[in-house]
Amino acid sequence: MLMTRATASARPPGRPRSGVNAVVFAATLSTVHELGYARATVDRIAARAGVAKTTIYRRWPSKGELIVDCLLDALGPVPLEGAGQAELMSSTIRWIAAKIGEPGIGDAFAGVFSDAVSDPPLRKILSARFQDPYRLQLQDALGEPENRVLFFIDVVVGTLLHRMGMTGEPMADADVAALADMVLRHFAGGADPGGT
Amino acid sequence: MLMTRATASARPPGRPRSGVNAVVFAATLSTVHELGYARATVDRIAARAGVAKTTIYRRWPSKGELIVDCLLDALGPVPLEGAGQAELMSSTIRWIAAKIGEPGIGDAFAGVFSDAVSDPPLRKILSARFQDPYRLQLQDALGEPENRVLFFIDVVVGTLLHRMGMTGEPMADADVAALADMVLRHFAGGADPGGT
DNA sequence: TAATTTCGCTACCTCAAGTATCGATACCGA
DNA sequence: TCGGTATCGATACTTGAGGTAGCGAAATTA
């Protein structure tokens, strides 16, 4: 009952898609890394991937969705390590800080987030396909309610992206440590739970 | 020795500029509020202000700089109220949260910040003309070193913008209170000072 | 072999930032 | 009163990027 291929029919007819998604993701990150988000046009990404622009638009309906899928592929699920809530939070913060520091990822992250601000459909996609899975995973692992986890994400990701956006560089380890320390104290200390 | 008009020559020759800056700022905020940042084109802003687009480009070299000036005008300096560091920080956080919640301001803030991510010249302008004045003002008022004030700004503004960007709504008061509580505890408690 | 779908390619549309140019207007100094 | 100068509004334009349309060719299934 594996269903790796389909539910009803074995495979759809016609020429199958070539397996270039990974190549496109790699081309996306390296182009964003070298040229920045705005200058990483779909034309350039396609050229670097050795693929036609129309092929990209056949698979992803917009640049924003391409970036979202690329980030999901690059990040994967949170590697939950550690026993207690404090250790889980701390490792999560260090994990996402390291990921945002990897070439291309931070820029793509900030870029698609920026686009979403004035693009409500993209914002819904970003919220549903990107934030929600991590939120649910963290709600389970941390045993915290939705509003507290959303607050956690806002603080951690918001801070890291703001630093990246203002300086062009990822946050240094010492500041990441301070961020983790601040957040852990907040969630450990019982006062003012954060959210209605 | 007032020199309200000039230092050397009384006034530059030619037709003086009409005093429409305030009108343009108001048109910018209302257009951004109604249409979002990306759809608030310079054409539309000019039309709403009752001014030609070329007039805007004669005064601001780019849309980004127009937004920066508009935000500086809308925000003004931090209204430093309260005696101790804790009160100053708390009132500053509530002040910027309220400002970001005003119609148009949060969107313009997030939009120009987003643009700056992949536009290094705009990033320098944003950093020098926008962040630096507030940073210096806060360094003076709070008696904290540069790196700690930068960390403070990253956390507060980053969190508020992330919430605004993901939900389209400003952060609710209860969460702003939690943010203030968390930050105050961090700066009051002596552990892990945040920054090298 | 026929149907179907993807492929690369080229050309195109739309929209927005920013530029160029024009006659008209407002202010200065002589 | 008359140049000189810089702004004004208006129109047209250039450039770049997201996204679409239509083509013949290739790959797969039935």
Structure confidence by residue, pLDDT tens digits, B176-187: 999 999 999 999
> Angle at Cα A161 formed by Cα A156 and Cα A166, nearest 5°?
135
Q: Which of residues 9-48 of A touch strand D (CB under 7 A)?
A: 9-11, 13-16, 38-43
* Chain B: closest CA distance from residue A12 (Å): 37
Question: What are B34-80's pLDDT values in tens digits?
Answer: 999 999 999 999 999 999 999 999 999 999 999 999 999 999 999 99
Q: What positions of strand D are covered by protein, i.e. any atom < 7 Å from a CB?
A: 4-12, 16-22, 26-30
Calculate mean pLDDT across residues A168-186. Answer: 97
Q: Could you tell me if A158 lies within 8 Å of chain B, comparing CB atoms?
A: yes
**Calpha distance A117→B115 (Å, rounded):** 11
B177 touches strand D (CB under 7 A): no
Written as six digits, the tokens of A124 are 């819904």
Considering only CB atoms, B195 lies closest to which of A162, A174, A192, namely: A174
| B residues 66..95 contacting A (CB < 8 A) | none
Provide the pLDDT confidence category of residue A5 given band limits of 50, 70 and 90: very low
Q: Percentage of chain A with pLDDT > 90?
A: 84
* Alpha carbons B74 and B45: distance in angstroms, whole number: 16
* Contacts of B129 by beta carbon, 8 Å cutoff, 6+ apart: B68, B72
Judged by CB atoms closer than 8 Å, whether chains meet at B166 and A154 is answered as yes
pLDDT value at position B191? 54
The answer to whether residues A76 and A155 touch, using CB atoms and an 8 Å cutoff, is: no
Nearest residue of chain B to residue A169 (CA atoms): B117
The Cα–Cα gap between A152 and A90 comes to: 12
Give B 113-152 residues with CB within 8 A of chain A. 113-120, 123, 126-127, 131, 147, 151
pLDDT for B105 equals: 97
B13 contact to strand D (CB, 7 A limit): yes
Instruction: Report which of residues B193 and B24 the model is more confident about.
Output: B24
The 10 Å Cβ neighbour count of residue B184 is 16
Q: How far apart are CA A75 and CA B48, in angstroms?
A: 44
Please report, rounded to a whole number, the percentage of residues in chain B having pLDDT higher than 90. 83
Q: Which amino acid is at B16?
A: P
List CB contacts (< 8 A) between B154 and chain A: 159, 162-163, 166, 171, 175
Q: pLDDT by residue (tens digit) across B80-100?
A: 988 899 999 999 999 999 999
pTM of the model: 0.92
User: What is d(CA B182, CA A184) in angstroms, rounded to the nearest whole number?
Assistant: 10
Helix, strand, coil share of chain B (percent; to 5): 70, 0, 30
Q: Crossing angle for the helix pair A173-188 and B146-167, nearest 10 degrees?
A: 70
Helix, strand, coil share of chain A (percent; to 5): 70, 0, 30
Nearest nucleotide to B51, CA against C1' atoms: D9
- Residues B179 and B189: their CA atoms lie apart, in Å, by 15
* pLDDT in the model for residue B190: 64
What DSSP character marks residue A127?
Answer: I
Residue among B106, B17, B18, B115 nearest B62 (CA): B115
